[in-house]
Structure 1
Amino acid sequence: MAHPRLDASSIRNQYATHLQAGLALSLVLLLGAVHLSPPLGREVEPTIRGHEAAALRHVQSTRQAQAPPAPPTPMPPQVLPREKVVESPSVEFDPSLGLDATVDRSDGGTKRPDCGGRRSLRGKTYYPPSALRAGLEGRVRVKFVVGKDGDIESPTIADGAGALLNRAALRAVRRLECTPGREQSRPVEAERTKTVVFALPEKMDGS
């Protein structure tokens, strides 16, 4: 079966029609693409199906730089209390008492023996004539024990001034009359020391 032969004018008309249809279709597709595409300059947040959009934000770090430790607090200076000067009590000396006068140091339960003072000892001291002629003088210290009955026991020379004066000092001490010491109101033995002074008569008168 033979196809009808198209003339040149029909071919041109069909071509023009097809061209117009293709242009119209291209324009429709272009307009649809422009309409569906997002506007320029606008951020598109990605979305995940089944999850809410996650908003991203910048989290500022809260960690602070660790400051260096403060230096230790210095200890306050220690103020020492001012020393209090305690004055020593003044001691009054009674010139009427001799060097060997008895001083009561008892604490209420103990009492020292009493053998009198210097005057009592001087009245019992005998100056040897040979010592006077020789011009001998000096001090003799005699240690002795006062017994429970007041007697003088065991006199000895602690510091002598020659044989003559030592013997005279021992005799003077043996002649002393003493009151025995007491402890808890009971008589006890106690040790004493006496100094016998031998001075030439002119010095004794001037003393």
Structure 2
Amino acid sequence: MLLATERKDQHNGFMRDQTDKLNNLHGLKAQLLAASEETSKRLQKEEQELQRTQEDMAGASAAASTAEKKLDTAQMQLRRQQEEYRQRVTELEEAHRQKQRQLDKLRAAVSLFGSRFSLQFRHGQDELCLVLTNVDAFDTDKEFLLSVRITGDTYQVTRCEPMVPWLEELTAEVNRSNDFAAFVKGVRARFVEAARQARGL
């Protein structure tokens, strides 16, 4: 009887010990499951962050490529504009030199024939103003005015006081022959005729 009781106590102690161990195992399992779940969540979060980082890097790379292309395009446009500007400046300088040569030529002609035709000239913007006197025999100091503008290789009369006939024909002839002295002589003759007609002569 005593032996049976001891065995029963041993069995009960063993069962309690196994139960405690089993409970400990259940607790450890729960901890492991919780840790595994936490680890899984952390890995998922890190994967999402990695994916976002990769997407950001891809976007940044695309943006950098686009910016580089835009920069190349802007630089090409700037170089083209600079070249066009230099070409335009060269053209303007050449046009100015050509116009200056024509003005110098006109001034030389005026100086050459000034005393003969009682002619003076005044400078205007891009034009030459001729002042003729000794035209009217009754008023030798009276001024007759003629302004000529140079456009390219063309002479253009911008002012004529008084207006005289055949001025268009004289202008066409000087543009054809480039003989400015003959042009001035022809205009002077028309001024003389106009002065005589004004006095009824």
Length-normalised TM-score, structure 1: 0.32
Length-normalised TM-score, structure 2: 0.33
Which of the two has greater helix per residue? 2
- In our comparison, the structure showing a higher alpha carbon Rg is 1
